[in-house]
Structure 1
Amino acid sequence: MRWDRFFEDLEGQLDSEWEAERAALDSEAERLRISRLSMRERLQVLAADAGTALTVDLADGAVLTGTLTAVGADWAGLQASDGRTTVLALDAVAGIGMPEAELLRSARADAPGPRRLAERMTLGFVLRSLARRRAPVTLHLRVGRTLVGTIDRALADHLDVALHDAEAPRRSGAIQGVRMVPLSALAWVRIEARDVGL
């Protein structure tokens, strides 16, 4: 009888050690998974459930607010309360604020599934689309300067923009100047027309 209790006690200790080791391995696996998450992947989780309100701090001190609508290869789309869409260059972001529950959910969620087309599109692709649509835009440069006009061309690493009032259509008489802008200088691009989305 004493031996039975002895073996039961040993068996209980062994079970406890196995459970502790399994919990440690699970914790380590979770730490490893989290260490591999990129900001873009976390934003993709939030964009999948449209409606996440964000406050975005940019490197130049500018602050944007809106609802996350899309995430691409190197950009994110925010829709402001006035209906205008802003395309953010992800590498111009200094910080992102959101409700704590959303922050935690974005880190806990499983890795995104197969990549959709929008997730593979680069900022240059989006800008070429805006150039085709002749949509009036506001370009906010990383140095804090703002340019308003129409993107004429979006090339490999830069774009050409015709400067004019956002309310005026791009006509030769309305153009106040033209600029060549490196894509690396862009912090965000706001589409001024409310009926033009991503």
Structure 2
Amino acid sequence: MRWEQLFTDLEAQFAEQEAADARLEAPSRARAEHGQVRLADRLRGARGGQVSLRCPGVGELAGRVVDVGVDWVLLAEAGERELLVAQRAVAAVAGLTAVTAPAGEESAVDRHLDLRRALRGLARDRAAVQCLLGDGGVLTGTIDRVGADFVELAEHPLDAPRRRGAVTGVRAIALPAVVAVRTA
């Protein structure tokens, strides 16, 4: 009977020590898990919701989160305009919910669909756009081509189609200078 009582007592002490260790470890484990979350994961968790992105040089860009790529966020603004925002230009985000998409949720195709490829889609569509630049400038026209580190924009008024007579010039814009591209 003494041995049974001793073993029971030792098992209770061991279980209590394990529970105490788990309580001490839980906050540390949660911090480590939070340390793996990227802004893209938080934004993917906000799909369909309204957010406001603070971008230096441009200010607040707001809309409904449509999609999130490896280095861009697509917002739907009022009036059916879309806004493709470079994630590197985002300083702060308002409107996020508690939902976070699992890290690495994007597919292999998503990982290859970077900002340059998204801009090439706009060039292919010959869409009239506004390029919002980090220095606060806004250039309008049609993206003619996208290089390794630049975008070439045929400048013309948004309300005029890209025709030789409407184009006032062609400008190469360094990709790091592009904060967002808004469709007309």
Residue 5 (structure 1) shift: 6.0
Q: Which residue of 1 aligns with 2:138?
A: 146
Query: How far, CA to CA, are the matches of 1:180 and 1:114 in structure 2?
Result: 31
Q: Which residue of 1 aligns with 2:28?
A: 28
- Find the residue that maps to 2:13 and give its secondary structure: helix
Residue 44 (structure 1) shift: 2.5
Residue 52 (structure 1) shift: 1.5
Residue 132 (structure 1) shift: 1.0
Residue 120 (structure 1) shift: 2.7
Indicate if the aligned counterparts of 1:71 and 1:119 stay in contact, CA closer than 8 A: no
Residue 163 (structure 1) shift: 1.1
CA RMSD across the alignment: 2.1
Q: 1:65 aligns with which of 62, 73, 79?
A: 62
Q: Which residue of 2 aligns with 1:88?
A: 85
Q: 1:177 aligns with which of 151, 165, 169?
A: 169
Judging changes above 3 Å, is the alpha-carbon distance between structure 1 residues 114 and 159 closer, same or farther for their aligned structure 2 residues? closer
Residue 125 (structure 1) shift: 0.6
Structure 1: tracts of 5 or more residues without a match: 193-198
- Find the residue that maps to 1:184 and give its secondary structure: helix
**Does 10-19 or 171-180 show the bigger shift?**
10-19
- Residue 94 of structure 2 corresponds to residue 97 of structure 1: yes
- Find the residue that maps to 1:113 and give its secondary structure: coil
Residue 142 (structure 1) shift: 0.3
Give the TM-score taking structure 1 as reference length. Answer: 0.83
Query: How far, CA to CA, are the matches of 2:56 and 2:46 in structure 1?
Result: 22
CA deviation digits over 1:100-132, x for unaligned, max 9? xx1x322xx533435252343111111111111
What letter is aligned with 1:75? W
Q: Which residue of 2 aligns with 1:77?
A: 74
Judging changes above 3 Å, is the alpha-carbon distance between structure 1 residues 135 and 61 closer, same or farther for their aligned structure 2 residues? closer
Query: How far, CA to CA, are the matches of 1:181 and 1:110 in structure 2?
Result: 34
What letter is aligned with 2:72? W
Query: How far, CA to CA, are the matches of 1:61 and 1:141 in structure 2?
Result: 7
CA deviation digits over 1:60-105, x for unaligned, max 9? 2511110111111211101112211100011111100015xx1x32
Q: How many residues align?
A: 184
Judging changes above 3 Å, is the alpha-carbon distance between structure 1 residues 165 and 120 closer, same or farther for their aligned structure 2 residues? same
- Find the residue that maps to 1:105 and give its secondary structure: coil
What letter is aligned with 1:88? V
Q: Which residue of 1 aligns with 2:113?
A: 121
- Find the residue that maps to 1:82 and give its secondary structure: helix
